[in-house]
C-alpha cells in the first residue's frame, strides 16, 4: 500500500463528533496544567515524576486534539505535503487522526520528503525534511510533553527556537554584557549543524523513558526520500518537522557550562546563542582563545565543528590585526566607538570613553534593498495597488525587526533608495508622459506628506522611517511560559513585542492580551489574526472599534458558515479558507490576516 493510501486510511472520515464544537478552552487549560507540572518536576530534578506526567499528557485526548489542530490548522506549512501526498485534513478526518494517536506507540515513522530552499542572500540551498501529516501530529504531541521538561533546564542565554524568546532578546543580552566594558569576542557558526548531530549522543542526552526514546530514534533514522530515491539518515535532525528545533536545542545545551568551566566568581566568559549561531564575550584575548578550545572539544562529542569561514576573534572597540572592530550577529552590527567626555557614559563615577551602537548590518541592508528592487522590477505589469501590497509587508516586517536598535538613519536611507526605483517603475508604464503628470498620478498629498506613493482610494506605501524606534526589554533570566506566570507573559506580549505599535498591538492592549473568542491569554507562539465585528460586506469599517484579535483557529471557528449553494443549511459547516487571508498591513491594514509572533 502506498504512503498516501496508508495515511488516508488512518484519517478516513468518522463523523462521530463535531470538530467545530470542541471545547478548546477546556482542552488548552488541561494541557497547560500538565505542562506546568512537568516544568516544576523538572526544576526539582524529579525525573520519575517528569516521565509519569509525560506519559499521562501523551495519552490525554486534550493533548492529542491540540496536536492535530496545530498541524492541520495553525501550522504555516500545513499545505506542504510529505511522502504521503496529503496537503490538508478536513474537520471530519481530524477526529479520526486524534483517535489514531491514542496508539502512538505503534506508529511507524515514514521517510521525510526532501525539499531544497534557498538561503537568504546566498546561492546555496538548505535541505528541509517534510514529514507525513501523521508523523507531524505525532511529533507535535511529543513536543508538548518534552518541551516543558527542557525549558526548565536550558541556559538563560539560549534564545533560538524557544517559546517566549526572540533574536531581539539575544541582541539585548549582548548589549548588557558589553555596554560597560569593551570585550574580546568569539563570533562562531556551527558548520552544517542540523545535519551532523550525533544520534547516539543526542539520545543519551535525552535521558527519557523507553517509549519516547524509541519514537525519537525512529524519526531520526527514518531516512529521506528525494526524487523517489531513498537515502538513510545516520546523523542530524532533519529540518522541517515540529520536533527538530527542540532536538537541536537539546543537542547544543551545555555550551555555557563547558565554556565557563574552570572560572571562579562572576568574571566568566559570556556565551549568547541563537540556534547554531553563537558569540562568546570576555575581557581578555587569552580567555577567548581558551573558550574557543573548550568549545571545539565539546562540539566534537556531538559530531559538530565550527565553520572556519564564519569563525573569527575580534574586539568590540579596537581593531585586532586585520580584523575590524565589532561583529555581526543575527543581521545586527554590534560595535563600540571612542567618544569624548560629553558623549561618554560613566561607571562608578569614571567616564567610559566609548559608546556602544547596534545597527542593521551592511549585509542585511544590502539584501533588503535588493529584495525591494527585485519586487519593483518584477512588478512592471502590476497595478499600483498590487505593487504596494507586495512591498508593504517587506518594508514593515524588516523595519519592525530592527526597531529596537539605532536604525533611524538606516530606515531613512532605505526610503531614499526606494524612491528612484518607484519613479522608474512609473516611467516604464507611461513612456510618453511628463514627469509632472507621473508625479500627480502616483504621488499624492496625504496630511503633511506631499510625496506619498498612494492610490486614489487611499492605499499608500509604508515608509521605513515611519516605524518608531522602541527599545526592547529582554526576557527575565530563565523564565519560561510554562512557569505559570501568565500575567507576565501577557503583559510582555502587549508591551515588549516588536508588533505592539501596529494595529495588532493596539488591539492586544485593548483586549488585555486575551483572545476575544476563547478568552485565553495569547502567547508568543500563537498565530493571531484580526477580524471585523461587522463585516465590510455589511458596511463595517477598518476602525479599531470594529476590529478584534483572535487565534487563527478561533477565527476559523467564528467564520464557520452554514450554507449549501448560497442557502442556509445546518448540516454543512464550512471553514473560512486560510488561503484567502492576506498579511495584516499594519496601521492602515483593512484586510484580515495571520501574523506569526515567533
Output the DSSP codes for 491-554. HHHHHTSTTTTSHHHHHHHHTTTB-TTT-PBP-TTSEEEEEESS-GGGT--SSGGGEEEEEHHH
Name the range with the highest mean pLDDT among 13-17, 74-78, 438-442.
Answer: 438-442
CATH 1.10.30 residue spans of the chain: 486-561
Contact assessment for residue 146 and residue 244, using Cβ atoms and an 8 Å cutoff: no
Say what the pLDDT of residue 596 is.
32
Domain with CATH 3.30.70.270 in the chain: 154-198+235-358
Grid look-up 541592508 returns 365
Residue 344, C-beta contacts closer than 8 angstroms, at least 6 positions apart? 351, 352, 353, 354, 355
Model confidence over 338-390: pLDDT tens digits? 988 777 777 777 888 889 999 999 999 999 999 999 999 998 888 999 999 99
List phi, psi (to 5°) of 128.
-115, 145
Sign, CA dihedral 596-192-252-121, equals: negative
**pLDDT tens across 192-217, in order?**
888 889 999 999 999 999 999 999 99
Note the pLDDT of residue 446.
80
Q: Report the alpha-carbon distance of residue 482 to residue 147 in Å, rounded.
A: 9
Query: What is the per-residue pLDDT for 310?
Result: 86
* Sheet containing strand 112-118, strands side by side: 125-130, 112-118, 224-226, 229-231
Q: Is the pLDDT of residue 297 over 80?
A: yes
Give the three-state DSSP class for 567: strand
Higher pLDDT pick, 527 / 319: 319
Q: What is the pLDDT of residue 416?
A: 93
Given a cut of 50, whether residue 588 has pLDDT beyond it is no
Question: CB under 8 Å to 454, separation ≥6 — which residues?
Answer: 388, 442, 443, 444, 446, 460, 461
Which of the pair, 15 or 8, is modelled with greater confidence?
8
Residue 582 clears pLDDT 60, i.e. is over it: no
Specify the DSSP class assigned to residue 454.
Answer: B
Domain 154-198+235-358 in CATH 1.10.150.120? The answer is: no
Closest CA to 597 of 466, 510, 492, 518: 492
- For position 568, what pLDDT does the model report? 39
Give the DSSP letter of residue 190.
B
> Which string of DSSP letters, residue by residue, matches 317-369?
SS-BTTBPSSEEETTEEEEEEE--TTT--EETTEE--EEEEEEE-HHHHHHHH
pLDDT (0 to 100) of residue 448? 72
Confidence at residue 9, expressed as pLDDT on a 0 to 100 scale: 44
Question: Quick check: 597 pLDDT over 60?
Answer: no
Whether the per-residue pLDDT at 72 is higher than 80: the answer is: yes
112 within 8 A of 130, measured Cβ to Cβ:
yes
Q: Is 272 strand, coil or helix?
A: strand
> Taking Cα atoms as reference points, which of 358, 404, 354 lies closest to residue 180?
354
State residue 17's pLDDT score: 63
Percent of the chain whose predicted confidence (pLDDT) is above 90: 41
pLDDT of residue 488: 84
- Report residue 586's pLDDT band, with 50, 70 and 90 as the boundaries: very low
pLDDT at 98 over 70: yes
Q: How confident is the model at residue 528 (pLDDT cuts 50, 70, 90)?
A: confident
Contact (Cβ atoms closer than 8 angstroms) between residue 515 and residue 558: no
Q: What are the angstrom distances between the C-alpha of 56 and each of 146, 196, 229, 236?
A: 12, 33, 39, 29
pLDDT of residue 574: 38
Higher-pLDDT residue of 63 and 530 is 63
Determine the pLDDT at residue 16: 41
Average the pLDDT over 485-499 and give the result. Answer: 71
Binned at pLDDT 50, 70 and 90, residue 121 comes out as low
Only one residue has cell 499528557, namely 57
Mean pLDDT of the region 77-87: 80
Correct CATH for 486-561 of 1.10.10, 1.10.30, 3.30.420, 1.10.3470: 1.10.30
Pairing of strands 277-282, 184-189: antiparallel
pLDDT at residue 11 above 80?
A: no
pLDDT at 151 over 90: yes
Among 16-30, 102-116, 281-295, whose mean pLDDT is lowest?
A: 16-30
Q: How many CB atoms lie within 10 A of CB 276?
A: 20
556 versus 135: the higher-pLDDT residue is 135
pLDDT band, residue 39 (cuts 50/70/90): very high
Q: How far apart are CA 239 and CA 130, in angstroms?
A: 8
d(CA 297, CA 399): 39
| pLDDT the model gives residue 216 | 93
Question: Confidence class of residue 525 from pLDDT cuts 50, 70 and 90?
Answer: low
pTM: 0.83
**Helix, strand, coil % (nearest 5) of the chain?**
45, 20, 35
pLDDT at 572 over 50: no
Q: How far apart are CA 464 and CA 467, in angstroms?
A: 6
Higher pLDDT, 152 or 232: 152
pLDDT, mean of residues 57-80: 87
What pLDDT, on the 0 to 100 scale, is given for residue 57?
95
pLDDT top residue among 449 and 569: 449
Amino acid at each position: 500500500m502506498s504512503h498516501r493510501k496508508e495515511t488516508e486510511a488512518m484519517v478516513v472520515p468518522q463523523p462521530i463528533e463535531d470538530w467545530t464544537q470542541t471545547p478548546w478552552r477546556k482542552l488548552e487549560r488541561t494541557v497547560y496544567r500538565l505542562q506546568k507540572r512537568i516544568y516544576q518536576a523538572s526544576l526539582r530534578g524529579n525525573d520519575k515524576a517528569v516521565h509519569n506526567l509525560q506519559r499521562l499528557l501523551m495519552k490525554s485526548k486534550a493533548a492529542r486534539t491540540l496536536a492535530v489542530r496545530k498541524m492541520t490548522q495553525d501550522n504555516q506549512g500545513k499545505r506542504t505535503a510529505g511522502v504521503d501526498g496529503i496537503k490538508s485534513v478536513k474537520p471530519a478526518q481530524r477526529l479520526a487522526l486524534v483517535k489514531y494517536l491514542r496508539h502512538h506507540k505503534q506508529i511507524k515513522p515514514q521517510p521525510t520528503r526532501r525539499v531544497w530552499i534557498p538561503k537568504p542572500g546566498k546561492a546555496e540551498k538548505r535541505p528541509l525534511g517534510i514529514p507525513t501529516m501523521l508523523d507531524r501530529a505525532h511529533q507535535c504531541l511529543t513536543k508538548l510533553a518534552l518541551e516543558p521538561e527542557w525549558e526548565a533546564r536550558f541556559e538563560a542565554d539560549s534564545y533560538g527556537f524557544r517559546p517566549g524568546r526572540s533574536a531581539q532578546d539575544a541582541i539585548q543580552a549582548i548589549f548588557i554584557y558589553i555596554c560597560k566594558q569593551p570585550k574580546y569576542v568569539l563570533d562562531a557558526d556551527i558548520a552544517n549543524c542540523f545535519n551532523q548531530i550525533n544520534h547516539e549522543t543526542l539520545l543519551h542526552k535525552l535521558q527519557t523513558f523507553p517509549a519516547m526514546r524509541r519514537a525519537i530514534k525512529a524519526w531520526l533514522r527514518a531516512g529521506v526520500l528525494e526524487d523517489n530515491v531513498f537515502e538513510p539518515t545516520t546523523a542530524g535532525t532533519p529540518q522541517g518537522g515540529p520536533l527538530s528545533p527542540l532536538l537541536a536545542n537539546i543537542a547544543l545545551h551545555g555550551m555555557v557550562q563547558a565554556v565557563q568551566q574552570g572560572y571562579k566568581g562572576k568574571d566568566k566568559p559570556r556565551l549568547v546563542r541563537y540556534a547554531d549561531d553563537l558569540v562568546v564575550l570576555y575581557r581578555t584575548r587569552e580567555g577567548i582563545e581558551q573558550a574557543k578550545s573548550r568549545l571545539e572539544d565539546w562540539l566534537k562529542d556531538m559530531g559538530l565543528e565550527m565553520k572556519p569561514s564564519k569563525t573569527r576573534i575580534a574586539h568590540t572597540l579596537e581593531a585586532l590585526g586585520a580584523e575590524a572592530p565589532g561583529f555581526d550577529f543575527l543581521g545586527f552590527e554590534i560595535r563600540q566607538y571612542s567618544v569624548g567626555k560629553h558623549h561618554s557614559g560613566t561607571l562608578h563615577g569614571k567616564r567610559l570613553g566609548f559608546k556602544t551602537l547596534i545597527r542593521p548590518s551592511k549585509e542585511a541592508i544590502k539584501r533588503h534593498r535588493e529584495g525591494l528592487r527585485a519586487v519593483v522590477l518584477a512588478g512592471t505589469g502590476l497595478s499600483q495597488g498590487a505593487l504596494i501590497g507586495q512591498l508593504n509587508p517587506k518594508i514593515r516586517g524588516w523595519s519592525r525587526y530592527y526597531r529596537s536598535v539605532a536604525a533611524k538613519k538606516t530606515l531613512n536611507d532605505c526610503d531614499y533608495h526606494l524612491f528612484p526605483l518607484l519613479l522608474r517603475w512609473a516611467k516604464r508604464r507611461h513612456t510618453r508622459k511628463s514627469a509632472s503628470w507621473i508625479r500627480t498620478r502616483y504621488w499624492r498629498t496625504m496630511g503633511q506628506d506631499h510625496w506619498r506613493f498612494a492610490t486614489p482610494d487611499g492605499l499608500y506605501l509604508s515608509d521605513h522611517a515611519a516605524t518608531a524606534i522602541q527599545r526592547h526589554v529582554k526576557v527575565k533570566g530563565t523564565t519560561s511560559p510554562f512557569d505559570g506566570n501568565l500575567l507576565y507573559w501577557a503583559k510582555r506580549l502587549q508591551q515588549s513585542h516588536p508588533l505592539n505599535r501596529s494595529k495588532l498591538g493596539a488591539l492586544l492592549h485593548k483586549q488585555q492580551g486575551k483572545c476575544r473568542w476563547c478568552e485565553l491569554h495569547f502567547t508568543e507562539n500563537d498565530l493571531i489574526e484580526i477580524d471585523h465585528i461587522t463585516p465590510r460586506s455589511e458596511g463595517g469599517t477598518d476602525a479599531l472599534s470594529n476590529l478584534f484579535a483572535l487565534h487563527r483557529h478561533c477565527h476559523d471557528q467564528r467564520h464557520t458558515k452554514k450554507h449549501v449553494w448560497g442557502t442556509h443549511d445546518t448540516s454543512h459547516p464550512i471553514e473560512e479558507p486560510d488561503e484567502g487571508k492576506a498579511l495584516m498591513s499594519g496601521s492602515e491594514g483593512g484586510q484580515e490576516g495571520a501574523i506569526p509572533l515567533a
